[in-house]
Amino acid sequence: MASLQDRVIGAMTLQAATFEEVEHDQGATSQAALIVLLAAVSSGIAWLWYGGLTGVVENAVWALVSWVLWAGLMWIIGTKIMPGRNTQADLGQLLRTMGFAQSPGLLSFIGIIPIIGWVIVFAVFVWMLVATVIAVRQALDYDDTLRALLAVGLAFVCAIVLTFLFALLTGFRTAVVY
């Protein structure tokens, strides 16, 4: 079993074997939650000028909630709406793989750099989306990346709509930023 550091590096370098490993290690759920939390704090630091310290805390809370919700949504889409021939997955597998897909977000704090910070934050966001596609492909045992891309795309659109509705109903501004 790889160390947390090895798993983070494996996820950041988009190694399918890393996602496959954490998919099957039930003990890695707390590690995945830690990655989500630390990535959210890093992102909050990048946007410190926007939300201050309160924004960092809100971002961390929202990240944990949205991680669980997005994994649940992904589980429904991946196992009920768009299953592959070999798809057999539970929510825990998606929580773990999608949590580790947030590993590139650990570098989001670099986005605090004036003028170019937004470019860095955007690049990290795209990197995390690519990692999520690989994580979903492994967790749902898809035979091809295109199906994973479509499933993540559908879940992403649903998540954006739900996030904006949540933000509008609650005034939780970090929901829109994250």
Q: What is the pLDDT of residues 72-83, one digit of tens each?
A: 999 999 999 999
The C-alpha atoms of residue 102 and residue 131 are separated, in whole angstroms, by 8
Q: Select from 156, 138, 172, 178 the least CA-distant residue to 39.
A: 178
- Domain extent, residue 145, equals 4-177
CA 68 to chain centre: 10
Backbone conformation region of residue 25, classed left if phi is above 0, alpha if psi is from -120 to 50, else beta? beta
| Average pLDDT along the chain, 178 residues, taken 10 residues at a time | 94 98 97 96 81 80 90 95 94 97 96 90 95 97 96 90 81 52
The C-alpha atoms of residue 75 and residue 169 are separated, in whole angstroms, by 25
Q: What is the pLDDT of residues 112-143, one digit of tens each?
A: 998 998 899 999 999 999 999 999 999 999 99
Q: How many domains does the chain have?
A: 1
Token pair belonging to 126:
């795209």
Query: Which pLDDT score, from 0 to 100, does residue 173 have?
Result: 58
| CA–CA distances in Å: residue 122 to residues 46, 65, 107, 112, 116 | 11, 22, 11, 12, 10
